[in-house]
Structure 1
Amino acid sequence: TVTAIREAPAGGFEVDIRPTDKAGRRHVRILRAGQVVLAAGAYGTQLLLHEMRDTETLPHISPRLGALTRTNSEALVGASTYRTPVDFTRGVAITSSFYPNAHTHIEPVRYGKGSNSMGLMSLPFQVPGTGRLPRWLRHLGVAVRHPIVFVRTLAVLPHWSERTIIALVMQSHDNSLRAFRKRGRFGGRGRLTSRPTDKRQNPTWIPEGQEVAELLADSIDGTPGGTISQLFDIPMTAHFLGGCPIGATSDQGVVDPYHRLHGYPDLHVVDGSAVSANL
C-alpha cells in the first residue's frame, strides 16, 4: 500500500510503501523514482491525493480535486424468487445489455454461488421515488400490505445469489458529486465522502430501472427489489469514477490532457479518476 508521495530533495519523488496487512512506520519502505504513475482506481488515487494536499505534502495539487466525481448515474435493481429448485449462478456474470432509451443502459448480472452477503444490501419491493410521504414510509406500507411476500423474500437470503438476478442500470446524463476527504476520529488516512453539487444531481430513482425490475420479477415468478439505501433516497453505485478532471490549467482540472498532475508534471494519473463523464 502506498501511504505517501513527496518530492525528493535531489529531484524526483519518494514513495512510502508498506504491506497492506501491516500498520506502523516500522513497516514502511521508501522507493525513489524520477516519475510516478498513479493507478489506484478512482477511490484509491483520490484518497491519496486528497491526503497529500490536505497535509501539504503536495500542496500544489489543484483545488479541482474531487470535482466531477461520477457514479455512472446508476441504480442497482433486480428480482428474487423463492421458487425452488432454481440456480441463477450458473453461467457468465454479464452476457448481454440493452438500451431502453438513448441515455439508459441496462445489464442483467448474476452473482457467483456463495455471494449471499450481497443480499444484506438488498431490499424487497420497488417503491417510486416520487410522492408526498417519505420513501421509507411508503416502502413500509407495501411490506405491511404484503406480509407473506415480504417474509418469503427475506427467507431467500441464505440462497440469495442462486435466486436473484440483478439489473445494473446506468445513464449517461451529466450529473456528478463533489468528493472530499474526511479525517478519522482517531487519526489515520480518513476516508472519502461526498456531497451533492449545485449542478444536476445524481438520481435517487430511475423509472426505467423500476420497470425492468418489475418485468424481471414477472419473468421469474419473483419479487422486484432494490438496495437498502433507496429507503433514504441515497443512490448506490458499482462504478466510482472521476474526481481528477482533465483541464488545460490547475483552475480547470487536476491533470492536463496528457494526464500529468498540474503542479507536478512528473506525476501521472492513469486510471478511472480521470474519466470525465458517466459512461
Structure 2
Amino acid sequence: MNDYEAKQAARKARLEELAANARGASTATYKRARSMAEAIPFGQPILVGHHSEGRDRNFRSRIHSTYGKAFALDDKAKHYEQKAASVGTGGISSDDPAALTKLRAELADMEASQERMKAANKIIRQRAGDEDAQVDGLLALGWLTNERARELVRPDFAGRVGFPGYALTNNNANMRRVKLRIAELEQRRQRADVEQEGKGYTYREDTAENRVMFEFPGKPDEAIRALLKSHAFKWSPSRGAWVRQLNNAGLWAAQQVRTALEKIA
C-alpha cells in the first residue's frame, strides 16, 4: 500500500467512524424522544385554559424537536456512510503515485479484451451455420465457458451473434481515453515545479503534490475568495493555500485567476 492508498484507507476509516458516531447519537436521541412522548397518556389532549397548558405545549414542542434532531442525525449518518462507501470507487486518481502503472495495466487489460472479442467474432464468422463447430472454436480460445460460448453463437434480441459492434466500439473509446490520460500524466511527470510571485500572492505548481496553488500572506478579501472558488480552487488548511489538481483544466483555471488578480491589484 503506497502513501496515497494509505491516505484513502484512513479517510474511509474516519468517515466510517463519523457515520457510526452519528448513528449512535441518532438512536440515543430517538429513544429519548420516544421516552418523553410515552410520558403523555395516549390520546391526552392539551387542556386549554388549564394552568398546565403552557408547560404541556412546551414539553410537546421539545418532543417534536428531539425527534427532529434524531432524524437529522440519521441523515448525517447516511451521508457519511455514502461518502465512506464511495472512497476508492472513482477510478484511478491522478494523485496516486502508482497511477501510471495502474493505467498501463488497465490499458493492457482493455487491449487484451479487444483482441479476445475480435478473435471470437472471427471464429463465429468463419464457422457460420455450424453451431457446434463455432462453440468448439470458441472453447479452444481458452477463456469462455461452454454456456457463454453457446450464448455468443445464438442470435440475441436484435439478431446479432458474437460480441456486438458497440461492445468493441465502447472498449476502443475507453482505450483512447486511458491512452490520453497516460500521455497527460507522463507529460505532467516531466514538468518542473513552478513558483512565481504575483501582486499580493505566490503562484505554485507542485508536481509532487499534484496541485496548482495560490498562497496569500493573509486571508484574501471576499472578492478574491469568490474568484478562486468560481474557478474550483479550494482552501487547503494543511497546505495554507488555495488549491486544485494539477492538470490541463487546473492550469487553465489558474491562468484565468492570475489574469484577474493582476487586474484587481
The one of the two structures with greater contact order (alpha-carbon pairs below 8 A, sep at least 6) is 1
Shorter-chain-normalised TM-score: which range? Answer: under 0.3
Determine which structure has the larger helix proportion and give its number: 2
Give the TM-score taking structure 2 as reference length: 0.23
